Structure 1
């Protein structure tokens, strides 16, 4: 590393501009270290280095006889970096690995990102809400980083952390006590973490990410309802992402009405897989009126775009109205879901507590050899 006691005296205005444009963070690619904070003690301090892209002294990295004297105090030739990154590229032996063009690109990309993020309007911010069994585990697809990537560039995180309402019970899901405990935990967490923000935080939009048993996702949807300005996301398998994809093909959900008019009414959601009627009758008996919401090709990864989810909302709303009109006000809808996580949440959101029939949600349980009752939505 070249040494020179006659280091240029950078003007205060240029230093201020460097701190502003970098957001006070290291501009070296993928570093982003805060340069005002001690990593261990959290004490405030200035640990920034002002590094030259074209070295100011002969023998320095990337020295240029024309550009170096001309740009030695110029903003365009200076980067704000941490000590470790400064040592990485401010070395004559690393010139080929870190040419000037590469560093200029690093500086530009970092400054563009800071400008974009600091210019976010309040109506572009969103609370990232995570609900699932593996919250906080980096290996899980349900994490803050993946969620942030999914909402960009339409929305930006309102806070540097998600709103987490994870599952808590150590009980097994074949037991009634499991569902009661998880439902109670969800309600308590929702009130303390989500409802608390409603009307009190400047950001009122929520981005919803769920990986949990479908009855609990439906329950979460009922808590959100239409009172919250929210967008629900879906985890895709190919490619693996939460980001909504632009799909040219249409998905047309359809209602298959019941062929009988019994007072025991079932509604199958055959979206991820088909559910044969005999499985429903094993739970409800032979005298059951079985409705279905399905589409042309039920599979685990069919739902790709926002438009697909919008079409599901439309058809689910229509089915709830048709069942009530045909079977009357005093029936309960027994819901048998085989559906993507986003549609489970949206089913809860379109259900209206004052207008719609009560629902009993079932869940497939291998230990019990079929569907079991879980939660009642009423």
Structure 2
């Protein structure tokens, strides 16, 4: 038991810099609330890193007395970790190890509590089954990917996903998922509107591309948002800081008399014969592509910015060439983030309606999925 008298001011300061949580690495338990009953009471222990007497845990002939009431030598701990470091495993908890735990905890609390309002962002998770594969989206992974540019505004994400027994080769799948996405968006954003000012969103989506495009339409450019890309090599949602951006190219058709088709070949090259199998040979195929289509091309924010610029360009060019009453048939092969950004660029009052197709091996080619029209614009009041 401690023999020193820790001053009231240092007790208060320690509680503040620890945010009332256990400072043992990986614990972070609230020390002012019972985890089971949620009753509020003080269950904290103030532990000495160097014991306040020479014969105590990590005690020292001279420093024990000098640091008995020194804030740098005090840690806020829960009961089990207080007993662990002072009784059960003293040898495993050196002075340097405990000081490092204290430093990291207090730095993290200072960073989080000192976040400017502009750095707070609501995490949006949207996942839907792609073929037989589910969506491996996690809140923790999203939080780690945001930092240090943004930090989570709340301790829970805005979850827009819906589990479905249907597969994406079924027409019913698209109807159910589209309706669910719209309904969840309206519900979650309506709830958020009641409790916050105009927020920022960090959007993480893994789903078939037509649904990601719809997600982007809902989170239009009116919203402040950042869209994250899922990279495969290395497996991460973070853009490498040193990767040079790439640009994209819009290739116009020789003849614009047919129905306008947009071939988006970024992750892979979509051969025109595959589109003509669905649309016929009289269609006018516009192409938005990368210099060398392939996976993991979106590796910088600037590359996404370049993509958005080319999408605006092709939307305007198609409208000029085919007229205000046309409908664009979209055949996409692109990363998750570009699918969402494609939808965000589309403006309901300015752009042509779109019919989105999806490649499905079970049905031997591209199939119709969703139609995006002016009547289906995102409903929001921000």
**Structures share a fold, TM > 0.5?**
yes
1:73 aligns with 2:69: yes
- With 272-281 and 165-174 compared, the bigger mean Cα shift is at 165-174
Match for residue 48 of structure 1 among 38, 44, 50: 44
Partner Cα distance (2:349, 2:325) in 1:
14
1:260 aligns with 2:260: no
**1:87 to partner: Cα distance:** 2.1
1:100 aligns with 2:95: yes
Instruction: Flag structure 1 segments of 5+ consecutive residues without an equivalent.
Output: none
**1:140 to partner: Cα distance:** 5.8
SS of equivalent residue, structure 2 residue 126:
strand
**1:92 to partner: Cα distance:** 8.3
| 1:299 alignment partner in structure 2 | 294
SS of equivalent residue, structure 2 residue 56:
coil
**1:199 to partner: Cα distance:** 7.2
| 1:170 alignment partner in structure 2 | 165
Q: For each residue in 1:43-98, what CA deviation from the matched residue of structure 2 results, as whole angstroms up to 9, or x when unmatched?
A: 21211111111111232221111110111122111100112212222148633x32
1:37 aligns with 2:20: no
Match for residue 216 of structure 1 among 208, 211, 217: 211
**1:244 to partner: Cα distance:** 2.5
| 1:276 alignment partner in structure 2 | 271
Partner Cα distance (2:330, 2:355) in 1:
6
Partner Cα distance (1:246, 1:74) in 2:
41
Give the TM-score of the pair, scaled to structure 2: 0.92
Give the TM-score of the pair, scaled to structure 1: 0.93
SS of equivalent residue, structure 2 residue 12:
helix
- With 283-292 and 256-265 compared, the bigger mean Cα shift is at 256-265
Partner Cα distance (1:114, 1:356) in 2:
46
1:341 aligns with 2:350: no
Match for residue 202 of structure 1 among 174, 184, 197: 197
SS of equivalent residue, structure 2 residue 363:
coil
**1:141 to partner: Cα distance:** 4.0
Match for residue 351 of structure 2 among 331, 339, 356: 356
| 4+ residue segments displaced more than 6 Å | none
Q: Report the CA distance shift for 1:257/1:47 in structure 2 as closer, same or farther (over 3 A).
A: same
SS of equivalent residue, structure 1 residue 15:
helix
Q: Report the CA distance shift for 1:141/1:368 in structure 2 as closer, same or farther (over 3 A).
A: closer
Partner Cα distance (2:195, 2:153) in 1:
13
**1:203 to partner: Cα distance:** 5.4
Q: CA RMSD in A?
A: 1.7
**1:303 to partner: Cα distance:** 0.8
Partner Cα distance (1:267, 1:282) in 2:
15
Q: Is the 8 A contact 1:125 1:158 kept in 2?
A: yes
**1:290 to partner: Cα distance:** 0.9
1:246 aligns with 2:241: yes
1:232 aligns with 2:206: no
